Amino acid sequence: MSEPRPAPDPRGTAPGPRRMKPAQLLFEPPEAVADPEHFFDLESMEDPHELLGRATELTLAFRAAADRATEFQALAAAQLSDPSRFDRLPLAVLAEQAEWTEDYAQKMIEFGRSLMRSGGTLPGDMD
């Protein structure tokens, strides 16, 4: 599978290039999530070099996860707007469900269709 491509940005700006492979996101234990001051144990790091390194890894991992989730949103939007589907959603309904503007929903549909045409990311594909 190819590297995920950045999704269209609703603000119209392109994301910058990826610099390094992102760190794997690990789920935090439930007791840590309940503590609003706790965030992936960053608050307990005293060495600023270690803190910067781990915070950077997390930032890159979250960006990669957001890009990947956005690709799946685009694929779903393209599928849900497919005229051959009996349960096709009108653009306005799709935009409302995804909390997008109709213009952005149209861009996401087009992006999803391009992903499907290119054989890139497909639902169910995992790295």
In the chain, domain spans: 74-119
Q: Phi/psi at 106 (nearest 5 deg)?
A: -65, -40
Structure token pair of residue 99: 């909390």
Q: What is the mean pLDDT of the chain?
A: 78
Q: Which helix (H) or strand (E) holds 33?
A: helix 30-34
Q: What is the pLDDT of residue 38?
A: 73
Residue 19: pLDDT over 50: no
Q: What is the pLDDT of residue 18?
A: 46
Residue 4 in contact with residue 69, Cβ under 8 Å? Answer: no
Prediction pTM value: 0.62
Structure token pair of residue 63: 């960006």
